[in-house]
Each structure stands twice: as structure tokens, then as C-alpha cells.
Amino acid sequence: MRPPGATLGAAAHSEVAVAEHVVDRPSFDEYVVARGGDLLRTAWLLAGDDRGAQRLARTALARAWPQWSQLAEHGAGSYDSDLRRFLVQAHLRQHRHPARDDVDDSRSPAARGGSGGPSGSGGPDERVRVSRGLEVLDSLTNVERAVVVLVLFDGLGEGHVADLLDDDLGSVRRHLLHALALVRDRFGLDERGMRGLLESLAPDDPPVEALLAKEVAGAARWRGLRGWVFALAAVAVAALVVGLVTRPQAGGVRPPPSIPRLVPAALACGSSLGPPALPRPVEPPLSAHYVAVLVCARTDAASVWSGPLPPDVPVSDPTAIDSLVLAPQGSGPACPGLPRGPAYRLLLLGRDGTTTTWSNEALACNGWPALSQVFVAAAEQSAAGTPPDADFLGCPTTLGRQVDRDGAGLGLQKGTVLVEATACLHPLAEARPPGIPSFRAVRANVLGGPTVAQLNADLARSGSRRTGKGDCASGPQRYVIRARTDTGRLVELSSICGHEFAVDGHLRDTWRVSGETTSMLRALLVAN
């Protein structure tokens, strides 16, 4: 006879299985009706007005609709998490809200029928309250605003927010503390007061009809249909190409069979590829010999490294591959003080389709410089894969960029006014790493009104100047500011030290910023 507990456990398990089988997952429209109001409340705090909130929510829903069946398989928690992720990504891509001296009725959640705040009044006092609340939110950067809303309003943990932002926990905590310190010093609000402010600003019951409008559904459905159209077109083109290739030519001679396109996904750390081979010097460019490089950590007891790895995606962009220096043991400078022994293996997919395995012990300096380069190449390749957005001065890869060490360009004149800017932090590979390298992603932060004003204050004091020293001393990362002036000119400023920036890649044309600006950039971009 089974113990009573075992019987009850089996019955409970059976009931759960039956419940999971019987309960229907909500359709897309059902979810929007049930949860669209919560999505709009969060979107309103991110955007600050009705139209912006609807635009963010519709963008998030349009991204979710084509993959709704996959999201439904993971349960209700996945719906909310992925929708918030899409919502925040849309928020971070958009322009910063310009400073406003006042607020009209359309920006006041209390002034709209059925969505008023606690007071239920749209009078002058209510407009002043909303205007002050929006002033508080508009003083934050886009990232800080997202962190504050997700933590204090939505009640998410910092780890969950880090996952939504694809960032680390220390960076999220730093953004939250910086934002709370700013609103405390400038507006006299502590954390509890900030929570109350967010609750009072968000509409109580925003209408979701606009999210179910016919044109929105049609746009989402067209996005899904477009994928099928492209897939069918690709099949048709492939069939046509095969027919042309296999068709007998004049004289009955067939062309040689084409070499199949090599897919980087053929590399996998779990594959059994046999013992590693000895590395051999390779004539540059490396991409002429290899189409993908993947680093795989050694996890056995003999391994001397248990550090973080980049996403399990091979380095396959030709420019990223060419940035690697995979020198054999005995070449290059020595690296004292670093652990020696087995740590990782490199898998290299050749252009002939063969896969080679190299162990780190056979690479120069126990392979640590090579690992540093693979980490940087993986991060920059990810940045290069970000789709361009006209509303976001993004962070494209810096690999393969030509640097002018002698000439000078237009420079940056004193009094230049920047209207928008994005600050980026790119990791740099080190020839002799001081410690075991770790994966560092390219970081970005769209600068808000106060931070752009800080840059303009520096420009009001001085512009760039011609020097003979070039860029500042080397470091583990490169700061890059991409900005647009009030005349429409795009400017790129880069620096390793964070206080002296080369203008448009000209190392002898530099702009020195104030200590306040350097501290601001480090606070925004450098992870703890």
C-alpha cells in the first residue's frame, strides 16, 4: 500500500496535468483586453502622454503578435515579461521628450474621461500637479526612467529589470540609485514619495480600444503575413537557382556543383571534435581562412578559469574575425601573473567546411589575449547587428574603423549646440590583460536633457583644438558620443580616458570636456 502522502501527491500531479490540458490559453485579443490597461499605464509613465503611450504599447504588441503561439507556451508570466521587454526597447529607441514649460489637457491622465487620477479633476491644480510630475520624470535619462518605472511602479525586482534591459544587476542598481539621488536633491522626493508620484500620474483605467483598432491588427497581421511571403519567395528563388545550375549547358557539359553556404551555427560547444590541434600561424586576413570562431569554456576540475562567456553565438562577421590575433605559444610579449593551464578551446570553422579545435595552452600568453579579442569581437558583432533606427543614434561596431592620426577635419567649434546625443561604451581588447578577461557588452545610453545641457555647457566654454599628442592613455574601454547639432551635422567623439575626445576620428583634433562630464559618462556607462 502506498503512503497517503504519495497518493495525494500523485493525484495533485494528475489534477495539475489535467488543468494545464483543459485550460485554454488566451488569444492575442483576449490578452490585450485583459492586460492592455496595465501595459498602457506603464507606457504612459515612460512616454508622458496619451499618444506616446499608445504608440509604445502598439509597437510592443505588434512585435508580440507574430510570436504569440511561442509566448503562449511559456505561460502568463512570459506574456507580461516579454511585453514589458518590447515596451522598454521601444522606449529606449525613441527621442528624449523635450523640456516643457507647461502641460495641456491631453497630457493629464486626470483630464480624460474614464481615466482620471485620484482627484478626478482636470482643473488648474491638477494640471500643475501633472506638469510637476512630468518634470520629475523628464529630468531622468531614458534608461533611468525605465528602471524607476519598472522597480517602483511595476514592483519588479532589480534582477528581473536587469533581464528586461539585457544589462547586469550592478548597472540597474546604479541607475536606480542615481535617479533617486537626483529627484531627492532636485525635487525633494524620497523613494516613497517617488512611488506615490508614479501612482498618481498613471491613468487608473486607460481605454484599450485603440490597441484593438482594425489598422493595428492589420499591421500586426501583415507583419506575420510578410514573413510567409518572403519565405515563399525565397523558396521560389532557390528553386529557380537550382534549375539554372543543374540545367545542361551547351555541349552537354554541366557546371561544377556549387559549394554549399557554410552556416556558423555548425559550430557547437557540445560537439565531439576530438583532441585539439596545434595552432598554426595564419596569414591575414583571418576571414580568408575561417568563417566562424567560437570559444568554449573548459568545465572539468583541471580548468583554471570559470569566467563568464558571451552568448553562445560564433564570431562570424568578417570584420570581427579579422580583428582576432590568434598567435601561437612563444610569440608576443609575456604575461606574468596570470594562471596557466587548460581554460577553454577555440572552435574554428574553415572555408572548406572543416572544423579545427585549438586549446588555449598552445596560444600566446596561455591564450588570454586571444580570449580578450574574441570577447570584444563578439560584443562588437552584436552591436553591428542592431537594426538602424532614424530616431536613435545607436552604437554600431567600431571594428574596422579607419583612424586619422595626422590630419584634421571640421573640428568642433566653440558654441556648437547639440540637440541630441547617445553615449556608447565599447570594450577594448588588451594585448597583455592584467587579469582573466571577461565578456563585456557594448553599452549605450540615450542622453537626456540635463546631460545634453552638460555637453553644451562644455562647448560654450571651449571647442576642439589641434594637438600633437593624439588620444589619451589607453584603458579597458572606449567612450563614443554620437551627436547631432542644431545645424543637422552628425558628430562622433571618441575617447579612451573619458576626458579628451577625438573629433570624427581625427586623433590630433581633440575636445577636452570638464570633470563633471567625465563623471557623468562614467556614471551612465561604466558597470560596477
- Per-residue pLDDT tens over the stretch 314-330: 899 999 999 999 888 87
The average pLDDT across 29-44 equals: 82
State the pLDDT confidence band at 20, using cuts at 50, 70 and 90: very low
State the pLDDT confidence band at 235, using cuts at 50, 70 and 90: very low
The average pLDDT across 54-81 equals: 69
> How many other C-beta atoms lie within 10 A of the C-beta of residue 260?
7
Question: Picking from 47-56, 215-224, 340-349, 364-373, which range would have the lowest pLDDT averaged per residue?
Answer: 215-224
Please check the confidence at residue 331 and state whether its pLDDT lies above 80: no
Residue with the larger pLDDT of the pair 300 and 55: 55
- Which residue in this structure is represented by grid cell 571647442? 463
Give the helix/strand (H/E) hosting 466.
strand 465-466
Contact present, 310 and 440 (Cβ < 8 Å): no
Report the alpha-carbon distance of residue 96 to residue 389 in Å, rounded.
14
Give the helix/strand (H/E) hosting 123.
none
The average pLDDT across 150-154 equals: 89
Contact present, 363 and 295 (Cβ < 8 Å): no
- The phi, psi pair for 239, rounded to 5°, reads -65, -40
Q: What was the pLDDT predicted at 435?
A: 82
Contact present, 302 and 341 (Cβ < 8 Å): yes
State the pLDDT confidence band at 287, using cuts at 50, 70 and 90: very high
State the pLDDT confidence band at 446, using cuts at 50, 70 and 90: confident
Q: What was the pLDDT predicted at 63?
A: 77
Please check the confidence at residue 114 and state whether its pLDDT lies above 70: no
Question: Picking from 3-17, 92-106, 213-227, 468-482, which range would have the lowest pLDDT averaged per residue?
Answer: 3-17
Question: Picking from 59-73, 177-191, 262-276, 282-296, which range would have the lowest pLDDT averaged per residue?
Answer: 262-276
Cell, residue 68: 504569440
Please check the confidence at residue 234 and state whether its pLDDT lies above 60: no
Please check the confidence at residue 452 and state whether its pLDDT lies above 70: yes
Buried-state track 54-71, b at ≥16 Cβ within 10 A, e below 16 = bebbbbbbbbbbeebeeb
Instruction: Provide the mean pLDDT of the chain.
Output: 75
Report the alpha-carbon distance of residue 252 to residue 450 in Å, rounded.
73
State the pLDDT confidence band at 392, using cuts at 50, 70 and 90: low
Contact present, 379 and 442 (Cβ < 8 Å): yes
Q: What was the pLDDT predicted at 309?
A: 73
Report the alpha-carbon distance of residue 396 to residue 467 in Å, rounded.
27
Contact present, 143 and 173 (Cβ < 8 Å): no
The average pLDDT across 98-115 equals: 42
Q: What was the pLDDT predicted at 162?
A: 84
Nearest to 289 by CA among 256, 322, 259: 322
Report the alpha-carbon distance of residue 124 to residue 522 in Å, rounded.
41
Please check the confidence at residue 441 and state whether its pLDDT lies above 80: yes
The average pLDDT across 202-225 equals: 60
Question: Picking from 191-195, 261-265, 277-281, 336-340, which range would have the lowest pLDDT averaged per residue?
Answer: 261-265
State the pLDDT confidence band at 280, using cuts at 50, 70 and 90: confident
Q: What was the pLDDT predicted at 329?
A: 85
State the pLDDT confidence band at 123, using cuts at 50, 70 and 90: low
Report the alpha-carbon distance of residue 109 to residue 201 in Å, rounded.
7
Q: What was the pLDDT predicted at 304?
A: 87
- What proportions of the chain, in percent to the nearest 5, are helix, strand and coil? 50, 15, 40
Contact present, 438 and 388 (Cβ < 8 Å): no
Sign of CA dihedral 41, 42, 44, 48: positive
Q: Give pLDDT tens digits for 404-432.
A: 666 667 889 999 999 999 999 999 998 88
State the pLDDT confidence band at 369, using cuts at 50, 70 and 90: very high
Q: Hey, which residues does 328 pair with through a beta bridge? A: 363
Residue with the larger pLDDT of the pair 183 and 125: 183
SS3 480: strand
CA angle 312, 433, 355 (to 5 degrees): 35
Q: What was the pLDDT predicted at 485?
A: 93
Residue with the larger pLDDT of the pair 15 and 302: 302
Please check the confidence at residue 479 and state whether its pLDDT lies above 90: yes
The average pLDDT across 9-17 equals: 38
Most confident region among 15-29, 274-288, 342-356 by mean pLDDT: 342-356
Contact present, 83 and 61 (Cβ < 8 Å): yes
Q: Give pLDDT tens digits for 190-201.
A: 888 898 899 888
High-pLDDT (> 70) share of the chain, %: 69
Contact present, 316 and 348 (Cβ < 8 Å): no
CB contact set of 422 (below 8 Å; sequence gap of 6+): 392, 393, 394, 395, 444, 445, 446, 447, 481, 482, 483
High-pLDDT (> 90) share of the chain, %: 21
